[in-house]
Amino acid sequence: MGLKLLVDICPLLRRRTGVGNYIFYLLRELLQDDRVDDIVGVCGTRFWSRQELFGLLFLPASGTSSSLSGQQVSIDLLARMKSLLKRFPYIRDLRVVAQTVRLAYTGKRYKEYIFWGGNYYLPPFIKCKCLLTIHDLSHIHYPECHPVDRVRFLDKHLPTAIQRASAITVVSAATQEDVLKTFGDSLVLPPIFVVSPAVGEHFLNLDIAVEAQVRLKYALPEKFILSVGTFEPRKNLIRLLDAYAALAGTVRDEWPLLLVGEKGWLAEDIVGKISAADNVRWLGYVPEADMPYLYKLAGVFVYVSLFEGFGMPILEAMSVGTPVIASDRGSMREAAGNAARLVNPEKTEEISHALAEVITCTNIKDGLRISGAQRQQGQTWGARKDDMLKILQHIKT
């Protein structure tokens, strides 16, 4: 008998960022694998059948980026609704209560399933075995970079989820070490496995015609620096903007800075600084289908976050041959390997120097482009799925 999975898909029902993309691509692979007999999605009180999940995760294939937007309207509507609901205190707890009641009512039906909580959380009183995914512990190390209700929720529920889990997956060896160090003395930890992110298939075999469409769509200049990430303190965008401003005016005129990402927690200072800056453009949210082309068209990609569980954009930029400047912090250093120009994210001058160096030195830029492409090879979601199935089989037996 094959595996049966019950999966928390709440992160898929909003505009996807790191956690949502991680669940999205792994779940797509699992849905197509014959070793998995059934997958049921759950969010709040609603269950999604395997057939409904196929409809949610697989969109019509075509040669244009617009083909991946077939269900984006409904996802965007849900995202706006969730954004409004988050303004109410304890809304996360109310969702937990609703899901708990629903699972308790239907729990016997899924006792042979394995519940995968891909976003730090496992529902209480669930009767089946569970796999928990922890992406990072930034809410512990940088609580000031998160909304208060998120920190409170994770502080309350993550330790109990760890205790309920049959196994834990993390997205990097750095996070694995962090979980062991943070919880190892106070909790009995289940086995912890690393299942790192990979690059989606839409980053492969890019279409030149679509590339031209994307350049026109966003009015992209011939040369530009790109950074991607939600506007929140942890992404360190204030220092990036200061580092960019320290470049010579002639360099900034030739190399504008483009930022992609939605407003997150405490974004007002970042938005204000952008509005006062020269040669800086904020593109806002960019659909996933357009992102490979945006990365490819960029002359340099810079990712100087203070703390990450992994840093998926680093691999994504490398996969299309774009030189990368990245933080030298644990998981991002792990993601980049020796294929990026690493900097101390708390030293503005070092970030600025790296930007100037990569922009002006063709040999450095070409070396990063080649080593980045080599670094990314073989890091596919299919391989990650195989790792995941081994862990799920370990849980089952």
pLDDT at position 97: 73
Q: What is the full per-residue pLDDT of the chain (397 aa) written as tens digits?
A: 689 999 999 999 888 888 999 999 999 999 999 999 999 999 888 899 999 999 999 865 433 344 444 444 454 545 555 555 555 556 666 777 777 777 776 767 898 999 999 999 998 878 899 999 999 999 999 898 888 888 999 999 999 999 999 999 999 999 999 999 999 999 999 999 999 999 988 898 899 999 999 999 999 999 999 999 989 888 999 999 999 999 999 999 999 999 999 888 778 889 999 999 999 999 999 999 999 999 999 999 999 999 999 999 999 999 999 999 999 988 999 999 889 999 999 999 999 999 999 999 888 888 998 888 888 777 889 999 999 999 999 999 8
Q: What pLDDT score was predicted for residue 144?
A: 85
Residue 342 near residue 326 (C-beta atoms within 8 A): yes
Q: What is the pLDDT of residue 8?
A: 94
**The pLDDT value given to residue 67:** 40
CATH for the stretch 3-198+380-396:
3.40.50.2000
3-class DSSP state for residue 43? strand
Answer whether 307's CB lies under 8 Å from 366's CB.
no
Give the number of C-alpha atoms closer than 13 A to the C-alpha of residue 378, restricted to the C-beta side. Answer: 2
Domain boundaries, the chain: 3-198+380-396, 206-376
Q: Does domain 206-376 have CATH number 3.40.50.2000?
A: yes
Tell me how far apart the alpha carbons of residues 389 and 380 are, in angstroms, rounded to a whole number.
15
Domains 3-198+380-396 and 206-376 share a fold: yes
pTM over 0.85: yes
**CA 355-265-276 angle, 5° bins:** 50
Yes or no: say if 67 and 35 are a contact pair by the CB < 8 Å rule: no
Please report, in angstroms and rounded to a whole number, the separation of the first and last CA atoms in the chain: 12
